[in-house]
Structure 1
């Protein structure tokens, strides 16, 4: 594993990815590229990726008990995640002290267990992924898994070919998809891919898109064509737009703007020009995806999504004073009795109170700063290809922050796991940059 301590400079960190990064890349592919309704039998409903991570954490604990040398995780990243976990525990404890009913207590405990697993995932990644190549391996795993889901969604919508049931690890039990019927917007069926819902697919694809762009740019910095990752970028973008989601467009644009801040002017001008030409040609030819997206952006979706978010905002502001600091309890928001919020930050505020909301905001903004600092450090070291990779991480986290405004992230397993994968990526980038600066 990458976690074994080595003298600084004893190996070429660009070429030594390590076994640990390969395991995490597989976890990313399994999480994003397969339905999370498919669980391991006799595992109390755990997916293969969760079982793998639990096994890795047990192995890591055994290594520690055997007094093997374990690399120290990036402190700032781990503290940010632990602070969010602490507010989750406080909110759940406050709920238990109020004497909740059995359903609320169970849901809160399940939410605590879920977030504990995500904390463990971040810890494991920070310990075992310690190289530039390992960082890139994990990014590739995320992009491959998301691209696979996007291809499945595109085939289902445009060729009426459903491959989702064929992409599965043998021997799993399928608990059934969250989507019970085709969802439409602007006269088009919205693809689901391998996600639990079209909204989740849109979020996953949009967040993975900057990583694919970064992989392409890094390859070109090394003198390669980067055609494979360029194709993946195109698939992710088209599939995200095919979900007819406003958030996909807005988040992708914001992410690209943030990334463009570190790009050469010539590249920015070329991409902007190509995008304008492509949009005009698509509009002139009447390409359905582009025209429907334009209709949704200019005239609304003609569905209840905007109204429901407005109602959710009003409800959240009215409900928060009842449990202002610690919230009503993590994991206890009941959409059968309470209006759908479709907002990560409002949901965290209602469930975890102002303390929980503060921890979430500090986590997201803090990890952006960690990634930005790592990007600048690689640029100062003259490592342009790795700087491009970290720039993609910055773009992806930015896209996630925007998507959180219209999506209840913790309600979906793929995008919530992807959030913590990005947090870990930023921490790994910071660690590698620090080691590179001292080598």
Structure 2
């Protein structure tokens, strides 16, 4: 089911939808709704409880959804304009769908091997996306607008390739280059970690995805993609040996040198993306909408105006966190951030409690992936794009599954207890010292 969801998300053009179902007619949304139904039926029939310590992400997700539902109910009680009521309904359905795939991944990945398999599928879909993007960059052609699926209609034209500073901004199957960048940045840590740890595969099979995803990220001519890849790289570094770090620095230098020969002027263009300042229209369009957004927030600062009701025709802020602040208020934004932090915490704690170096590397890769996606949401309204939203909740589910698997592998000895306040540090300190000792040995 995870593989089918990834294929529907990233290997089907993002503009294709079942027109009769409107904005919820995208294949990725429908499959995620099936995942939610499956998850609910499973838990209705199960007879054994789940330990509380193994489900922090499920609790964080439930609280966030409750806040979104409360915002929706209050908005409907006060009354919404006709043009906002339908997006509010669709927004609530999309939230349920994303929760469905997150929960199915969270509870459905049962073993370490299942987790590694899902990571390989993420790398595979990231490699496909990167390869298509490189083809678009080289040829200047979308190659996607000619794809048709019976029963589905196109909601946007993919033939218009975006160009920045004279270079084509590839989008793969995505509706926008920023969404394309999210897929690359979420799969990059997985590809790099599997290349370092999966020694059973041959060298070319392990490192070709890393090369394709890295090159596509750099040639995307996107600030957010470059920042996200840099964040992922920085998060991965602490678990590497000194020799691996040196090889990584040499590989980066070689990549930059190769780019200077293949695409002369690209390095200067990339440097200009970060030095152009207020002269960049993409920056001014973001900052100009802030005053309007905060003005709309003043009407409903606590619970917001309802998810999906902050329409692009009002103002485009290109900041998902600011958009959630308007739609779900202070409460909803804080709970969404708490959900992301919970996912990061699950991955970080899994690294501390991991039984071996492979699981430590995998935990750090999941941590890097979630952190990179969360960073990109500060540069565009990611929940309005199906690929970006799907990858975020997919990786949150992976983080929750990773934490549960780590605990199950360790057994009862590492079950979290609630020690007295005076004894809390003493009970936690040995585990952190154990993790530090393993790092030193590694």
Same fold (TM over 0.5): yes
1:75 is aligned, of 47, 52, 55, to: 55
Q: CA deviation at 1:32?
A: 1.4
- Secondary structure of the equivalent of 2:92? helix
**In the alignment, does 2:180 pair up with 1:196?**
no
Q: Which moved more, 1:296-305 or 1:355-364?
A: 296-305
Gaps of 5+ in 2: 413-442
Indicate which of 264, 283, 305 corresponds to 1:287: 264
The structural deviation recorded for 1:373 is 0.4
Of 290, 300, 303, the match for 1:326: 303
Question: Aligned residue pairs: how many?
Answer: 410
- Map 1:126-165 to 2 at 5 A: 126-160=106-140, 162-164=142-144
Root-mean-square deviation (Å): 2.6
Pair 1:284–1:58, CA change in 2 (3 A): closer
Q: Pairwise mapping of residues 282-431 of structure 1 onto structure 2 (< 5 A)?
A: 282-283=259-260, 287-299=264-276, 303-337=280-314, 339-378=315-354, 381-382=355-356, 384-431=357-404
- Report the Cα distance in structure 2 between the residues aligned to 1:261 and 1:279, rounded to whole angstroms: 23
Secondary structure of 2:298's aligned partner: helix
Of the candidates 214, 221, 242, which is equivalent to residue 244 of structure 1?
221
Give the TM-score, by structure 2 length: 0.85
2:79 pairs with 1:99: yes
Change (3 A) 1:91 1:226: farther
Higher share in helix = 2
Report the 3-state secondary structure (helix = DSSP H, G, I; strand = E; otherwise coil) of the residue aligned with 2:363.
helix
Q: CA deviation at 1:355?
A: 0.5
Partner of 1:228: 205
Q: Which is further off, 427-436 or 59-68?
A: 59-68
Mean Cα displacement is larger for which, 32-41 or 340-349? 32-41
Structure 1 length normalisation: TM-score? Answer: 0.85
Structure 1: give runs of 5+ residues left out of the alignment: 1-22
Instruction: Report if aligned partners of 2:29, 2:98 keep a CA contact under 8 Å in 1.
Output: no
Identify the match of residue 124 of structure 1 among 101, 104, 124: 104
1:179 and 1:197 in contact (8 A); partners too: no
| 1:37 matches 2:15 | yes
Question: Which among 21, 25, 29 is matched to residue 3 of structure 2?
Answer: 25
The Cα shift of 1:121 comes to 1.3
Q: 1:295 to 1:91 in 2, by over 3 A?
A: same
Aligned mates of 1:368, 1:414 — CA distance in 2: 20
**Offset at residue 39 of structure 1 (A):** 3.6
- Do the aligned partners of residues 347 and 57 (structure 1) sit closer, same or farther apart at CA in structure 2, a change above 3 Å counting? closer
- The alignment status of 1:171 with 2:150, answered yes or no, reads yes
For 1:232 and 1:127, the matched residues in 2 are separated by: 28
Q: Deviations over 1:200-246 (max 9, x none)?
A: 112221222112112212214xx544532421122112222222111
Q: Is the 8 A contact 1:185 1:244 kept in 2?
A: yes
More deviation, 341-350/97-106: 97-106
> Which residue is equivalent to 1:8?
none
Does the 8 Å contact 1:186/1:301 carry over to 2? no
Q: Is the 8 A contact 1:34 1:149 kept in 2?
A: no
1:327-371 deviation line (CA, Å, top 9, x unaligned) = 12211112212x211011101101111001101111111211111
